[in-house]
Amino acid sequence: MTAPLAVFFVLAGLAVIGAVSLILQKHPIHSALSLIVVMVALAGLYLLLGAEFVAAVQIIVYGGAIMVLFVFVIMLINLDVSLHQVQFNRQWWLGLLLALVLGAQLTVAIAVGRSGLPLGEPAPATMLEPSTQLVGRVLFSEYMLPFEIASILLLVAMIGAVVMAKKKV
Amino acid sequence: MIPTSHYLFLSLGLFTIGVIGVVTRRNVIIILMSIELMLNAVNINLVAFSRLVGSAEGHVFAIFVITDAAAEAAVGLGIIIAFFRNRETLLGDEMDLLKW
């Protein structure tokens, strides 16, 4: 096993363990900490894929901003009552079954389609060499309009969050 | 070299775990976190395919997905705070104001 493959399996295992822990924890704060583990492991995977900028954004936006928001809200509405309630809903077995069926379907789709797709031969790593520079060039030329729309979306989300969290809705 | 299908299977696993979290948990905050997990699973695919074809466009789309996730988390948590203030509950199956 080569070194990158070993790193991949360590990070992937960390991500999957964190994800399973996320959906099994009783207290939301433990779920949030598990989610941070997943985020950081995925940032490592992005580095492995040569996407330095996405890895940095992942850490800053997900690990920083979004998780602070989650933890802040959990602190704000800390509900001890909810710890003594049933954590899974009544139809959990049906939901679990259907989700596993979905997972099995996707597994079969990838396993069967793998032979038809040119998945084995990645492009040479040098093609994405100054990764951040390339992202900037594509983002500010071809995807200029989506970029501006994304900024408007963030403005709308900010206004929405302020209105929602106001005293009287 | 790591084959792209490894990344696809990892993404598939995380997405399925996210779906399980959404359909089985009662706490809305954990449901929202499971949705974030599903968005992350999509991002792995985008970046892995970007690496496969040697183009930076997948990275750009991954950044857009992260932007949307941030907007969604902000509005979603705002809604949760507003709902909690009115109904004193965090359980998804007790949120039935729109149910006839």
Query: Is residue A66 domain-resident?
Result: yes
pTM: 0.90
Question: B90: which 2 tokens?
Answer: 């965090």
Record: contact B60-A31, CB cut-off 8 A: no
Stretch B46-52: mean pLDDT = 89
Query: What's phi and psi for A86, nearest 5 deg?
Result: -65, 130
Helix segments in A50-91, DSSP class H:
52-57, 67-76
| A26-80 pLDDT per residue, tens | 888 899 999 999 999 999 999 998 889 999 999 999 888 999 999 988 888 866 7
Distance from CA of A31 to the nearest CA of B (A): 7
Assess whether A133 and A70 both reside in one domain. no
Query: What's phi and psi for B84, nearest 5 deg?
Result: -65, -35
Record: contact A128-B6, CB cut-off 8 A: no
Q: Which range of residues forms the domain containing residue A38? A: 1-77
Stretch B30-40: mean pLDDT = 93
Lowest mean pLDDT among A141-150, B58-67, B79-88: B79-88
CATH topology for B4-89 is Helix Hairpins (1.10.287)
Assess whether A73 and A140 both reside in one domain. no
Question: Domain with A51 in it: what CATH number?
Answer: 1.20.120.1200
Closest CA to B80 of A104, A111, A164: A164
Query: Is residue A10 domain-resident?
Result: yes
Record: contact A88-B25, CB cut-off 8 A: yes
For chain A, how many structural domains are there in total?
Answer: 2
Chain B, nearest residue to A50 by Cα: B51
Assess whether A2 and A65 both reside in one domain. yes
| Sequence ranges of the domains in chain B | 4-89
> ipTM score here?
0.90
DSSP-assigned letter for residue A156: H
